[in-house]
Amino acid sequence: MKKIFLILFTACFAGLFGQKDVPFEKENFPNKKDEFKDARRNFKDGKEFWDKGLEEYNFTLNSVSTEVNMMPCSRREYLHAGAPNFEAAMPLLEKAQAFNPDNALLNWMIGFAKFHLKPQSEECLKYLEKSIQLNPTADIQGQQPYILAWCYQLHYRWDDALKYYAQYKSWLAANKGIPMQFEDIAKKMDECMVGKKLMATPQRAFIDNMGPHINSPYPDYSAYISTDEGTLIFTSRRKYKDAQKKDDGDAGFFEDLYVCTKTNGEWSDAKNMGEPINEEQYHEATAGLSPDGTSLYIYEHHGKGGGDVYVSHLQGSAWSKPEKMSKNINSDYRETTITESYDGKTLYFISNKPGGLGFGDIYSTTKDAKGNWGASVPVGPPLNTKYAEEGLFMIPDGKTMYFSSKGPGSMGGYDIFKTVLDNGKWSVPENLGYPVNSPDDDVYFAISGSGRRGYYASAKEGGYGEKDIYVITFLGPEKHFAYSSEDNLIASAQEAIKAKAAAAMEIKPVSLTILKGTITDAFTKKTLEASIELVDNVKNEVIATFKSNSLTGKYLVTLPSGKNYGIAVKAEGYLFHSENFDIPLASGYQEVVKDVELKNVAVGSVIVLRNIFFDFDKATLRPESTNELERLIKLLNDLPTLKIEISSHTDAKGSDSYNMTLSQARSESVVNYLIGKGIAKDRLTAKGYGETKPMDTNDTEEGRQNNRRSEFKILSK
């Protein structure tokens, strides 16, 4: 019965398209003896390469399918298994096909090889369609409808894909397919339904190739950016010098890290990071980057185990030698991408070690009181699925994380999802939609602090290499597209995507403040390495401590909204400098440039104490002042001969006498606090100046706020 069905199926296709399968037999080519001989030889020689490629591919799939919950043919990257042999087969098979264009097996072999080399190409689809039209059973393994359906899926032809997935499902039922194969088909058919839904409501976003000064003819991917978009570090398998070593496994160049920086809105040319980050005989890939761009996480695979995560720190203009991370992060299995919270106290990373739900799960670990990473635990559902998660990136707002997943809700391969942490629970991941996501792998997504631009790798048609890095510009709910010269978004290769991306995307303001600048000596203007202490004034807790660059003095601190922050900048031999940022929860995204000049411990030096607070219209110190006062106490204890004047100032509101009385009382409150903490009374002088020494205008609220301040002045040392 099955044989009769196949014969009828073949006959229907042949009759429908008016074509028939032409075997490579000499009687089918009378008077073309020599041409047939050459074509037959090309077919035979090409098939030998093709068979070797297929053997390598099947071996890889069989190896992969032994992994936890890993379905055959579900990992897009394994399509390239056997690529060298497929590439060697192509010119021979194409010569044979030019002689005999109507051989079903030959068309199947060419289409299959092209699908594994570049599945986005229209040529791949052309050969696969012709093969199944000529003979839908040319492949004895029954893979023709499956690969054709997958190719249709990658070309956004959802209904055609569903049709041939259904055919393959019927073939599996007739040929006693295994449960894993049925699960794979069900998953792919679900992806097609998701794809149809997402394409029906496309998001307004521009997607542009970053160009040849960043991308190459080789794979480029896994791009990470600092929060202010000043630094971009990514992975490439490009050739950058003669006699460069290759990986014996796939004959490609080893992975290396590349860096570029943005100046005046333009990215510099990508530069190989060299030693100690890159080593010639190993793979090194970007695994993550801290928000300030000074801690670089690197995936290294030295031929043993699954690969581990290392960390390197920017010291001046050079990166330190990468150090292997804690055993609570790395294991005997595979750890890949990693992202950190804005305060650096929590890490999220990907691992396929036992204990998770799928092939790659998201784990978290937090620092203990001694600064060591604690035991890692899987974050669990709804983020982790039975499939694979990868490519973590957390915005330093303390709650928003992006990652890629092959789980439910994907339109094929990895899709990029967004989740938000609220009261200790992660929200159900939200697909970023089309055209950001595609039926192919969309992974290693990073987004700027403003939330306006994202960066990711994609194997789109028309790129420079196998994978390229693209920039996504998310648009607001405007009715019409608004082009900007800054983003240079008129890329002809993407016009089709832009034309379809007509639906409004709601861009919620990112509640985040970036504080950055340069720290220098107030007298010499020399740049300084200093520590920057970030304090939650309400809780009187030190949230995190950062450092400015030892060479440039530059620093970058991210401040999620909804807190009153105290910032203290300290360096040995200098008086500390303080700033206060009270950022309401409803605040959006902003960048604040604050250059800091540190003063030496010298008679006459005056320091504003930005984080000393009083009750309204009173001299009562508020609890939020504690950390600032403790810093002052430490300074006085470290320099036991130092004598200072504590002064308070008001704005111009109120009478002169009232302001003078209030300011004097406030200065005395500070002095009394210090005396209560053991500072000798004769080292302290309290002085109120009222409104007599303004440092800003009294005509604006901001100016009046600056004038309402406490200071200390060094009287003697």
Report the distance separating Cα 59 and Cα 249, nearest Å.
13
DSSP secondary structure letter of residue 583? E
Spatial neighbors of 21 by CB under 8 A, at least 6 apart, are 14, 102, 103, 104, 134, 135, 138
Q: Are 695 and 707 in contact (CB under 8 A)?
A: yes
Spatial neighbors of 257 by CB under 8 A, at least 6 apart, are 233, 234, 235, 272, 273, 277, 278, 284, 285, 286, 296, 298
Determine the average pLDDT of the residues in 144-159: 95
**The pLDDT of residue 594 is above 90:** yes
Look up the CATH number of the domain holding residue 268: 2.120.10.30
**Residues 417 and 542 grouped into a single domain:** no
**The pLDDT of residue 495 is above 50:** no
pTM to 2 decimals? 0.85
Looking at residue 348, its pLDDT comes to: 96
**Residues 447 and 313 grouped into a single domain:** yes
Interior/surface letters 193-218, b for 16+ CB within 10 angstroms, e for the rest? ebbeebbeebbbbbbbbbeeebbbeb
The residue written with tokens 């204890």 in the block is 637
**The pLDDT of residue 492 is above 50:** no
Which of 317 and 251 is assigned the larger pLDDT?
Answer: 317
Looking at residue 303, its pLDDT comes to: 66
Q: What rounded mean pLDDT belongs to the chain? A: 87
Which residue range is the domain that position 526 belongs to?
511-600
Looking at residue 419, its pLDDT comes to: 95
Which of 553 and 302 is assigned the larger pLDDT?
Answer: 553
Looking at residue 489, its pLDDT comes to: 37
* H helix runs in 298-441, sequence order: none
Spatial neighbors of 283 by CB under 8 A, at least 6 apart, are 247, 254, 255, 299, 300, 301, 307
Model pLDDT for residues 475-490, shown as the tens digit of each residue: 866 554 444 434 443 3
Report the distance separating Cα 489 and Cα 211, nearest Å.
12
Q: Choose the weakest-confidence range: 207-221, 258-272, 359-373, 506-520.
A: 506-520
Report the distance separating Cα 581 and Cα 566, nearest Å.
7
**Residues 81 and 12 grouped into a single domain:** yes
Domain-embedded: residue 474: yes
Looking at residue 61, its pLDDT comes to: 66
**Residues 338 and 483 grouped into a single domain:** yes
DSSP secondary structure letter of residue 696? S
Looking at residue 508, its pLDDT comes to: 62
**Residues 222 and 264 grouped into a single domain:** yes
Looking at residue 135, its pLDDT comes to: 94
Domain-embedded: residue 541: yes
Please count the structural domains in the chain.
4
Determine the average pLDDT of the residues in 84-89: 91
Domain-embedded: residue 188: no
**The pLDDT of residue 69 is above 60:** no
Determine the average pLDDT of the residues in 258-265: 92
**Residues 214 and 337 grouped into a single domain:** yes
**Residues 388 and 475 grouped into a single domain:** yes
Determine the average pLDDT of the residues in 547-566: 93
**Residues 210 and 326 grouped into a single domain:** yes
**Residues 269 and 135 grouped into a single domain:** no
Look up the CATH number of the domain holding residue 116: 1.25.40
Q: Rounded to 5 degrees, what angle do the CA atoms 135, 136, 140 make? A: 100
The residue written with tokens 């890939």 in the block is 285
Sheet of strand 361-366: strand arrangement: 335-340, 346-351, 361-366, 377-378
**Residues 378 and 517 grouped into a single domain:** no
- Which two tokens mark 386? 């039975």
Model pLDDT for residues 409-431, shown as the tens digit of each residue: 999 989 999 999 999 899 999 99
- Which two tokens mark 599? 């003063």
Burial of 522 (0-12, 13-18, 19+ CB in 10 A): middle
Domain-embedded: residue 283: yes
**Residues 402 and 546 grouped into a single domain:** no
**The pLDDT of residue 450 is above 90:** no
Q: Are 631 and 576 in contact (CB under 8 A)?
A: yes
Look up the CATH number of the domain holding residue 571: 2.60.40.1120
Q: Rounded to 5 degrees, what angle do the CA atoms 89, 92, 96 make? A: 130
**The pLDDT of residue 57 is above 90:** no
Burial of 647 (0-12, 13-18, 19+ CB in 10 A): buried
